[in-house]
Amino acid sequence: MPTYPAYLKTYKSGKLKKIAEELFLSLDSCQICPRRCKVNRLEGKLGFCKTASLPEVYSYMCHHGEEPPVSGKNGSGTIFFSRCNMGCVYCQNYEFSQLGKGKKYAFEDLAGIMLKLQEEGCHNINLVTPTHVLPQILKSLEIAVGKGLKIPLVYNTSGYELAEIIKLLDGIVDIYLSDSRYGSDQSAVQFSLAPGYVKFNQDALLEMHRQVGIAEFTNEGLIKKGLIVRHLVLPNKLSATEKIMKFIAQKLTDQTYVSLMSQYLPYHKASLNDKINRRISPEEYEEAKKILEQNELFNGWIQESYGQERFAGVNIKPVK
């Protein structure tokens, strides 16, 4: 029977320590995300993410608002990291993702947060916006595992990733919760300052799927392992939902679990752009649901009440 969570075996073999150290040292010319800024973060130089060698955390909590199998009964141990490698003009978390609210944590202290969330009974450690601080997370994880961490990791990402970096997480991450935000690079640049998003996102999703496969659940309905793809429906078809669902169904598998989100609101600078300065309409969300059906993507969740941060269904309820 495989070791679970996977990182326990990787820790025991010494591989976790090796990967964490090599990735951390690579920050001397940072290329851990598609931006490849090549700044020396170890010396305090700042690239797009404006993060140096220490991780910054805005908040952490036992979160009950994720997809049902992620939050479960006891909640998901969620850590919100400050800053981001994207720059979404509509970001609801802009105060810490772009304006930088939060504080720096030593690796020992970040490990302490993980252990505290486990002690509170959380089902998993949910790493929100981890991409730009992945080396720091792995250094902290090594410490936490040595002190008794034993609940799975949820890698909760915008999906603007390098597949070569995601590949390093094989045997460390059991659960990927990844956005697939855009099927159009034009929209990705205009609204998230993310050139090449579509290819980077698709390559990363393929690697995630290769590692963990179709989502698997416990008898209690908790996700144990696997990939969940989130898709936020934007106004005026700007997210190109049809292209994304076609990719998922044809290049991953039509058994992929998809979380179709209707909660878009024009936060931050979105009110300044007439393409995205409104909520999506009920008709736009219904059209997105039909696209799921057309691609025979029947695993996952829809939002029960249009525009609300609440998910309908359980792990195997059809989305239609």
CB 243 within 8 A of CB 184: yes
Q: Which tokens go with 118? A: 């486990």
Q: What is the pLDDT of residue 307?
A: 53
Confidence (pTM): 0.95
CA atoms of 121 and 118, how far apart (whole Å): 5
3-state secondary structure the chain: CCCCCCHHHHHHHCHHHHHHHHHHHHHHHCCCCCCCCCCCHHHCCCCCCCCCCCCEEEEEEEECCCCHHHHCCCCEEEEEECCCCCCCCCCCCHHHHCCCCCEECCHHHHHHHHHHHHHCCCCCEEEECCHHHHHHHHHHHHHHHHCCCCCCEEEEECCCCCHHHHHHHCCCCCEEEEECCCCCHHHHHHHHCCCCHHHHHHHHHHHHHHHHCECEECCCCCEEEEEEEEEECCHHHCCCHHHHHHHHHHHHCCCCEEEEECCCCCCCCHHHCCCCCCCCCHHHHHHHHHHHHHCCCCCEEEECCCCCCCEECCCCCCCC
Q: What is the pLDDT of residue 1?
A: 72
Q: Which tokens go with 308? A: 């609300």
213-236 pLDDT tens trace = 999 999 999 999 999 999 999 999
Q: What is the pLDDT of residue 43?
A: 98
Q: What is the pLDDT of residue 87?
A: 97
Strands 103-104 and 56-63: antiparallel
Q: What is the pLDDT of residue 2?
A: 82
Q: Which residue numbers in the chain have pLDDT < 70?
A: 304-320
266-311 pLDDT tens trace = 999 999 999 999 999 999 999 999 999 999 999 999 986 655 554 5
